[in-house]
Amino acid sequence: MNFRERALQIWASGRGILLMVLIVSSMRSALADWNDVPTGSMKPTILEGDRVIVNKLAYDLKVPFSRVRIARWSEPQRGDVIVFYSPADGMRLVKRVIGLPGDTVAMRDEQLFINGEPAHWTSPSDVSGLSDFAGQRAWQVEEAVSGTHHMLMITENVPALRSFEARKVPAGEYFVMGDNRDDSNDSRYIGFIKGEAIVGKATAVAFSFDRANHFKPRFDRFMTALR
């Protein structure tokens, strides 16, 4: 068998695999994907070592392997957990939508205000006994504002931007924050998020491994919905 015949044989046996890889890659690029979460900026909703499912069809349809939008049928809503490209460095981040286009967002001593309406917290539960906090006091609360409810975490004595003056969200952009309010690189620092930078909506934890405990599986988090 000469070189040409050998090359044709390799191509014939491999083209099916290549086609399958291309189809799967295209589907991941345009329809659905997953995102590894290496930090705790979304605690207690998402933990380090979670891998979240990203619905890329939640808001629009893009050309595979690009940010070119073909069609758009929905907009992110307040409270949605989204995956997006950071305007600071292009990294993919996971945060919660807090402010919609046209909203005015402000914060005073951890108290969040949306269009002048203050957020309300449930009675906090102390979670400082967890090893993650290295002796720091932390609280988990449920925050309710403008019709949304979600859990968040507050940590004592951690440098963070806990107050800022009112900011109006521009048209086509969003204000996002991490549920771990005192340890999150979000719109307080990186600015508003443009709609075209949004990859999709994070809908569930596919599976989870505890990085601090030899990557032990957290079976109780497998296939759990995010809210």
pLDDT 10s digits, 27-62:
444 455 878 898 989 999 999 999 999 998 899 888
Q: Are 156 and 183 in contact (CB under 8 A)?
A: no
Question: Against a cut of 0.75, is the pTM above it?
Answer: yes
Element (H, E) at 169: none
pLDDT of residue 33: 80
Residue 21 predicted with pLDDT over 50: no
Tell me the C-alpha distance between 96 and 83, whole Å: 9
Q: Residue 2: pLDDT band by 50, 70, 90 thresholds? A: low
Spatial CA neighbour of 83 closest among 218, 206, 197, 175: 197
Helix ranges, the chain (H): 3-30, 187-190
Catalytic residue numbers? 41, 95
4 exposed, middle or buried (CB, 10 Å; 0-12, 13-18, 19+)?
A: exposed
Which DSSP category does 113 fall into?
Answer: E
Across 153-177, average pLDDT: 93
Residue 192 predicted with pLDDT over 90: yes
Give the range among 77-81, 136-140, 164-168, 187-191 with minimum mean pLDDT: 136-140
Tell me the C-alpha distance between 50 and 218, whole Å: 9
pLDDT of residue 102: 98
**Nearest 5 degrees, angle CA 160-CA 165-CA 168?**
115
Query: 33-225 belongs to which homologous superfamily?
Result: Umud Fragment, subunit A (2.10.109.10)
Strand partners, 111: 108
Tell me the C-alpha distance between 138 and 133, whole Å: 7
SS3 of residue 134 by DSSP? coil
pLDDT of residue 127: 67
pLDDT of residue 203: 94
Percent of the chain at pLDDT > 70 equals: 80
